[in-house]
């Protein structure tokens, strides 16, 4: 409980449909501080090197990566679960329902980002439509400017 309060104090705001920009910055800083950001960035196995110290390539010309061992898988799962928990502690109930079945921190982050960018885009389209529909008919210039100003 005390840890949850600390999270909320650092992030200070619950993610909703209007604060992705500030929430995501604070949450990213918090997850980095807790050494959990790796789960959101995505885990990658280390490269395999050849005898010359160069990154070895597979048959398709892609860099080879080492197989992830059981101990590393357990570490990653622990970090992933903690990151998801920290993120979910600071999002509104509506978003919580959207991500409840997602088991990967990177996917949770992307889903929240997508939800917020969709909201921003729809809001901008709606505002543009309203602005384009405002007509000066029978209004003074001052009234017209005031009406347009109220839209933003």
Q: Does residue 138 lie in a domain region?
A: yes
**pLDDT of res. 55:** 87
Q: Does residue 56 lie in a domain region?
A: no
Q: Does residue 69 lie in a domain region?
A: no
Q: Does residue 9 lie in a domain region?
A: yes
Q: Does residue 57 lie in a domain region?
A: no
The pLDDT tens digits of the residues spanning 120-133 come to 555 666 677 777 77
Q: What is the dihedral of CA 47, 53, 55, 58, to 10 degrees?
A: -100
How far apart CA 73 and CA 71 sit, in angstroms, is 5
Q: Does residue 34 lie in a domain region?
A: yes
Domain region containing 25: 2-45+79-151
Q: Does residue 19 lie in a domain region?
A: yes
User: How many independent structural domains does the chain possess?
Assistant: 1
The pLDDT tens digits of the residues spanning 62-113 come to 888 888 788 889 999 999 999 999 999 999 999 999 999 999 999 999 999 9
How far apart CA 84 and CA 17 sit, in angstroms, is 19
Q: Does residue 52 lie in a domain region?
A: no
The answer to whether the predicted template modeling score (pTM) of the entire model surpasses 0.85 is no
């Amino acid at each position: 409980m005390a840890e949850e309060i600390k999270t909320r104090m650092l992030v200070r705001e619950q993610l909703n449909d209007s604060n992705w920009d500030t929430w995501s910055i604070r949450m990213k800083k918090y997850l980095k501080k807790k050494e959990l950001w790796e789960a959101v960035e995505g885990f990658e196995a280390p490269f395999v090197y050849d005898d010359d110290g160069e990154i070895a390539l597979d048959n398709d010309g892609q860099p080879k990566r080492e197989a992830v061992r059981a101990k590393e898988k357990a570490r990653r799962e622990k970090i992933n679960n903690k990151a998801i928990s920290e993120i979910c502690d600071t999002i509104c109930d509506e978003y919580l329902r959207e991500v409840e079945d997602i088991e990967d921190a990177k996917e949770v982050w992307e889903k929240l980002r997508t939800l917020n960018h969709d909201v921003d885009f729809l809001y901008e389209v709606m505002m543009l439509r309203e602005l384009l529909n405002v007509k000066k008919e029978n209004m003074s210039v001052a009234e017209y400017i005031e009406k347009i100003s109220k839209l933003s």
